[in-house]
Amino acid sequence: MRESMGTLIDALATASAMNLLSHMTRLRGMLAPTAGWLLSSEIRLSAGFVSSRRLLLYGLYQSLQNRRRAAFMVTTAAEAMEQLSLTRPGLLILTPKLEQGDGLVLAQQARAVVPDIRTIVLCDQDEDDLLEANRADVDAVVTEQECFDVDQQLRNMLISLSLGRRYRSRAMQRYLLEEEQGWRDPPPELTPREHQLMDLWVQGLGDRDVADRLGVSYGTVRSHGRTLRKKLGASTRAEVVLKALSLGLSRVTGF
């Protein structure tokens, strides 16, 4: 199943409502791992959209099933700053180019108005824009193609944001600067058991649940976990998940 960014945000925002009972069947299949991470975070899933490209804004608006989740859609930095103070969304989705102002500067200024806002930059395939966006102090960068033609990518992004970390999509990796260590080094080789453990961690399972799922002892899972963290240069389970998502190591599908 393929979903646009708007549809995914809308579904997850609905799922984070006070009474989750009516959404549990849906979450169990399509969105369970993603929603599990998001429901334990503080992200507010309403979004402001800013771009000079009105057709892009129209496409994002059409992708929202519940359009009340769109806090605003504007084309200039000044309009965005005014709307941020009025609506205080949890997400700011923008492009580097605006009709007036600079999108990457706006992403930084937005935090002065809404300190906990998460900023997502949508880039076209211009290499200079991609590299500049990667250097900017923004939470996530994805290409416009991924925004409208996605499967696991946006869910990986939302899990990373829920953990308070940056996200750069796989399509951007070839544009990243050489000194970006996390993408320059080749991914480590993992054993089949380590892959199983990592994938179950990505799905949000704790070590005791992993042990039950794999039919091994809790101590065995802990031992594999220590080895996995060492291979990935991580100190916690959350860091393993982030590394797995950023390097494309996770084999989890059907989020």
Per-run averaged pLDDT (10 residues), the chain, 255 residues: 52 45 42 57 81 85 73 94 94 92 92 92 74 82 71 71 79 56 62 88 85 90 89 82 75 49
Q: How far apart are CA 219 and CA 102, in angstroms?
A: 52
Predicted local distance difference test score (pLDDT) of residue 99: 92
Predicted local distance difference test score (pLDDT) of residue 92: 94
Predicted local distance difference test score (pLDDT) of residue 176: 60
* Residue 74 φ then ψ, to 5°: -135, 170
Predicted local distance difference test score (pLDDT) of residue 117: 93
Predicted local distance difference test score (pLDDT) of residue 137: 85
Q: Is the dihedral of CA 69, 72, 74, 80 positive or negative?
A: negative
Q: Cα dist. 62→7, 16, 21, 56 in Å?
A: 9, 21, 27, 10
Predicted local distance difference test score (pLDDT) of residue 45: 75
Predicted local distance difference test score (pLDDT) of residue 132: 78
